[in-house]
């Protein structure tokens, strides 16, 4: 029995522009046949074990020819499998999706088409160019730019197209730009007609240049523009000066080194990306379980005898919960123990497990915890502190000063990431990093340690720290701190970075 093929449009590049149905198809795929320029995050949702087949094409290199792609779709479906053909943009807008559907229909393979947002409208929109506008343009056309305009018989009616449509959008036409311009002028479009080139539209690498039909070829050469490019011709291009929004964000195009633990980097990267940043994930630390969990396990067994448990990170919550499950216990083990969380991220990690903190400090630091507990009379209280192996001792010592009886247990290990040093070092030397973010003191320590004798290359970028404790660690390491978040959270760190650049 045949399987089924979904012909899915992945959209123009921004991963947020794929449709909900498109993502649902990927989540149940058994085979994914995907194109070039597909965002990797789409593939992350595909079930483990699914077969991944790359069939990308560029102007000069084809991983698979179209006939072979058609054959793959048919063969995989005939194996009874659910196949997703993931295509950039929209499958039916210069995407050869129609040819693939014809082949499936000819072989009696069930299929569905999931439309996607075409770069022909998305790239201009992200560049601040509406393809239609009530006062400027009432029509637009999408044309392949891949056809040679000098060939003897063209499928493009240049004479009617040049002046018969207000806005023209050419896709895959960068290599033919001089010939496209020449043909438009020959067929009646004025040399002073505005034109824009939008490269890698909707992505954080978007670039755009404007000119007229008479000047754009030279401007493109000067700018070194390379595919993929959407070419927009028409009076609507002049609206870009007023409507440009995507590239106007304060952090657009900035490269930020994200040094959080690998499992946590994506949350920070996502917030940065929303502000136009190009995040470079180089986790300075790897979170690992303790080698011998005996002491940690015993603390969980003894938990009902404690008055308080203070969590100073979401990592501590996860590590404790993992061992709780291994021991065959659940939230009832906490009994009447009061729970403290250093900040909202830690509180959220607890809430995900059905636990809600009794206390969270106003300032999300060890100092804030001590100030808050000093008002709660913890004299004589037995307090459990599950922490990282390199956690500073200030909290433990401060609790002793309040008359409490803290018990510190190592819940997880923080290790320098082996991959960090060389890649980070080279990017910093090449001036490719604008900002380094530090979300904890351990990320500072481990990045400096990983860079070794060349640690001073970190001075080539601005330093942004999640709070004063992390900033102090950075200064102690010899770095000049440029940005400190007033709210010690990941969103607070991103807000502080944006504010710093907004005021430049």
Helix (H) or strand (E) holding 7: strand 4-9
- To the nearest 10°, the Cα dihedral for 393, 397, 402, 408? 60
Cis omega before residue 228 (within 30°)?
A: yes
Tell me the C-alpha distance between 277 and 270, whole Å. Answer: 9
Tokens, residue 156: 């493009």
Q: Which residue has the tokens 């029509």?
A: 139
Closest CA to 231 of 206, 210, 205: 210
- Give every strand in the sheet of 285-289, ordered side by side: 285-289, 405-416, 382-388, 308-311, 338-341
Sign for the CA dihedral angle at 147, 150, 151, 154 comes to positive
Alpha-carbon distance 200 to 191, whole Å?
26
Give the burial string for 402-425 (b: 16+ CB within 10 Å, else e): bebebbbbbbbbbebbeebbeebb
Residues 309, 300: contact at Cβ < 8 Å?
no
The set of residues, in sequence order, having a beta carbon less than 8 Å from that of 503 and lying 6+ positions away, is none
Could you tell me if 375 and 402 are in contact, meaning their C-beta atoms sit under 8 angstroms apart?
no
Give me the active site residues, please: 35, 57, 172
Bridge pairing between strands 194-199 and 229-233: antiparallel
Residue showing tokens 């160019």: 129
């Amino acid at each position: 029995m045949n399987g089924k093929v979904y012909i899915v449009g992945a959209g123009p590049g921004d991963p947020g522009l794929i449709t909900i149905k498109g993502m649902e198809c990927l989540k149940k795929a058994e085979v994914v046949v995907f194109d070039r320029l597909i965002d990797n995050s789409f593939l992350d949702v595909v079930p483990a074990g699914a077969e991944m087949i790359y069939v990308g094409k560029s102007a000069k290199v084809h991983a698979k020819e179209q006939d072979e792609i058609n054959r793959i779709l048919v063969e995989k479906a005939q194996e009874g499998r659910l196949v997703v053909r993931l295509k950039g943009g929209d499958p039916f807008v210069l995407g050869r999706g129609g040819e693939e559907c014809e082949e499936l229909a000819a072989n009696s393979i069930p299929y569905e088409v999931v439309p996607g947002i075409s770069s022909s409208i998305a790239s201009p929109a992200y560049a601040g160019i509406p393809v239609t506008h009530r006062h400027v343009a009432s029509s637009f056309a999408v044309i392949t730019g891949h056809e040679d305009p000098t060939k003897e018989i063209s499928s493009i009616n240049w004479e009617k197209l040049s002046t018969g449509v207000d806005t023209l959008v050419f896709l895959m036409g960068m290599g033919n730009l001089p010939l496209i311009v020449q043909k438009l002028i020959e067929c009646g479009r004025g040399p002073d007609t505005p034109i824009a080139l939008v490269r890698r539209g909707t992505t954080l690498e978007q670039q755009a240049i404007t000119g007229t039909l008479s000047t754009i070829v030279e401007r493109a050469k000067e700018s070194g523009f390379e595919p993929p490019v959407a070419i927009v011709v028409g009076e609507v291009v002049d609206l870009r000066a007023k409507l440009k929004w995507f590239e106007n964000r304060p952090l657009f195009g900035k490269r930020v080194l994200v040094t959080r633990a690998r499992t946590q980097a994506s949350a920070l990267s996502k917030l940065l990306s929303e502000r136009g940043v190009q995040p470079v994930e180089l986790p300075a630390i790897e979170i690992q379980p303790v080698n011998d969990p005996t002491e940690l396990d015993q603390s969980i067994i003894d938990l009902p005898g404690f008055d308080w448990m203070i969590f100073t990170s979401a990592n501590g919550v996860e590590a404790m919960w993992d061992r709780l499950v291994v021991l065959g216990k659940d939230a009832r083990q906490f009994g009447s123990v009061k729970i403290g969380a250093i900040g909202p991220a830690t509180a959220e990690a607890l809430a995900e497990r059905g636990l809600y903190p009794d206390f969270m400090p106003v300032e999300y630091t060890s100092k804030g915890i001590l100030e808050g507990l000093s008002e709660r009379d913890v004299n004589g209280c037995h307090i459990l502190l599950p922490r990282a192996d390199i956690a500073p001792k200030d909290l433990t010592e401060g609790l002793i000063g309040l008359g409490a009886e803290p018990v510190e247990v190592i819940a997880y290990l923080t290790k320098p990431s082996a991959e960090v040093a060389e890649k980070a070092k080279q990017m910093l030397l090449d001036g490719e990093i604008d900002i380094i973010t530090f979300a904890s003191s351990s990320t500072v320590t481990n990045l400096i340690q990983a860079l070794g004798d060349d640690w001073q290359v970190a001075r080539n970028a601005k330093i942004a720290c999640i709070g004063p404790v992390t900033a102090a660690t950075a200064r102690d390491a010899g770095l000049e701190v440029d940005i400190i978040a007033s709210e010690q959270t990941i969103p607070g760190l991103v807000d502080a970075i944006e504010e710093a650049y907004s005021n430049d």
